[in-house]
A = this chain, B = another copy of it.
Amino acid sequence: MAYKDRLLPREKVFRDPVHNYIFVQHHVILDLINTPEFQRLRRVKQLGPTSYTFHGAEHSRFSHCLGVYEITRRICDIFQRNFPSKQNNDGLWDDSQRLVALCAALLHDLGHGPYSHTFEHIFHTNHEDITRRIITSPNTNVNRVLKTVSADFPEKVASVINHTYPNPQVVQMISSQCDADRMDYLLRDAYYTGAQYGTFDLTRILRVMRPYDGGICFDISGMHAVEDYIISRLQMYMQVYFHPVSRSMEVILSHLLLRAKELSSKLPTDSPSTPYMLMPFFNHHFDLKDYLKLDDGVLNTYFLQWCDNQDAILSDLAHRFLDRRPFKSTKYNGQNKYLIKSMKEIIKKVGYDVKYYTATNNSFDLPYDAYDPKKKHHTTQIELRQKDGSLVELSTISPLVKAVTGKQLGDERFFFPKELLSTDNNIEIFQPYYEKFQSFIKNDHIINQKGER
């Protein structure tokens, strides 16, 4: 039998707190999990600095990737049981697509590095691009395993992740507005943070999913389950992913890496204190091997060393990050954004370098979007299938979803050192400055002198 179709003599399971068990039935899946490139994901946290706000959220990208694989596997099982293709192009599920779907699901986040969002911002890396390179580069173990299926299999898997694979059902399983990726991370992040907003009825959503020639749609009987998923997602963004304290820790991390990068040119090239695993990134010359050496622990190890660095700003920011001393923040809007300049001046007067000790940052998300011919980037809208087989777009019949469709939700915040909010007259000589600063803020929002937002 071809390797491609080789099943394990007995299915293997991984105990998973979110999905109970993750079932592995194919040799190739087990071999992929056992590659060093995939095992590296154990050492990269899924939510990065969010664990500074929700201490339970210490799970890794490894767990999440297994979860996405498992949801995809269940979708394939249900599709094959209830909607098996009987002839070409009948819009039903062709189970020969299963393996490429499973591999793409498992590997879709393979290129994530430590503190991915911030790291990419500072070093101009791109995790999607790196994912594709790990899959298609002939030097990786992942590539070698995939090629045992067929010579063009790595490219196929990459094209699913790249959204260019011809079968839209396979692509939408992994990437659409209600896909295995999002469903796993919402459930998993809710479980590990302890936030209860992210839970929705996965079993029911899987039950109402069905293939059609344009991709994947949902039986109309499950509309409320899909609604609930959209709302849960919105709630997780507002409550967890956009939490001001996590964003504050990201600001510190970002400034810390920036400072290190700026100092790097002055570093001796070969001393114990040289962050040599980071040097390829400081110099913008890295290869896949350099990248695959990185994980959260490596970065933290350098941060620990930088705590003793003679550069006061580098040392202080490293301490703030490791010891969890976040900046404070306040919301602002377009009307009063101009006031930040005055606030920064006060911060400068009390002794801070505003380049490293202040920041503005916005977090916005589009909870759901419908197709709009005027827009450039088209997301796949959610289609509900009526009794007579016709499709109807979700927001046209759900008042709840309509209410959030196309709306960017989130806020813009200005970050600054905690001391600025001090209220203790007896101790601080800077107290008058602090009070001036505080007069710009009311109910967590910057206000002008008339007290208006």
How many copies of this chain?
4
The verdict on A364 contacting chain B, using a C-beta distance below 8 Å, is no
Of B196, B234, B277, B298, the contact of A201 (CB 8 Å cutoff): B196
Contacts of A200 in B (CB 8 A): 196
**Assembled-state Cα–Cα distance A63/B201 (Å):** 21
Contacts of A15 in B (CB 8 A): 54-56, 193-195
A196 lies within 8 A of B199 (CB): yes
Q: Given A55-B66, A196-B201, 17 more contacts at CB 8 Å?
A: A15-B55, A15-B56, A15-B194, A16-B194, A17-B193, A35-B323, A43-B297, A55-B62, A55-B63, A196-B199, A196-B228, A224-B235, A272-B274, A296-B297, A297-B299, A298-B301, A399-B407
**Assembled-state Cα–Cα distance A150/B388 (Å):** 36
Contacts of A128 in B (CB 8 A): none
Contacts of A293 in B (CB 8 A): 304
Contacts of A231 in B (CB 8 A): 231, 400
With A272-B276, A297-B296: A235-B239 Cβ-Cβ less than 8 Å: no
Q: 9 A–B contact pairs at CB < 8 A?
A: A11-B82, A36-B323, A39-B322, A55-B60, A55-B66, A231-B231, A277-B301, A399-B404, A403-B404
**B-contact bits for A175-214, CB 8 A (1 contact / 0 none):** 0000000000000000111111101110100010000000
**Assembled-state Cα–Cα distance A65/B54 (Å):** 15
The verdict on A151 contacting chain B, using a C-beta distance below 8 Å, is no
Closest Cβ of chain B: how far from A320's Cβ, in Å? 11
A56 lies within 8 A of B55 (CB): no
Q: Which residue of B lies closest to A239 (CB)?
A: B224
Closest Cβ of chain B: how far from A326's Cβ, in Å? 11
Contacts of A11 in B (CB 8 A): 82
Contacts of A409 in B (CB 8 A): 399
B443 lies within 8 A of A388 (CB): yes
The verdict on A27 contacting chain B, using a C-beta distance below 8 Å, is no
The verdict on A263 contacting chain B, using a C-beta distance below 8 Å, is no
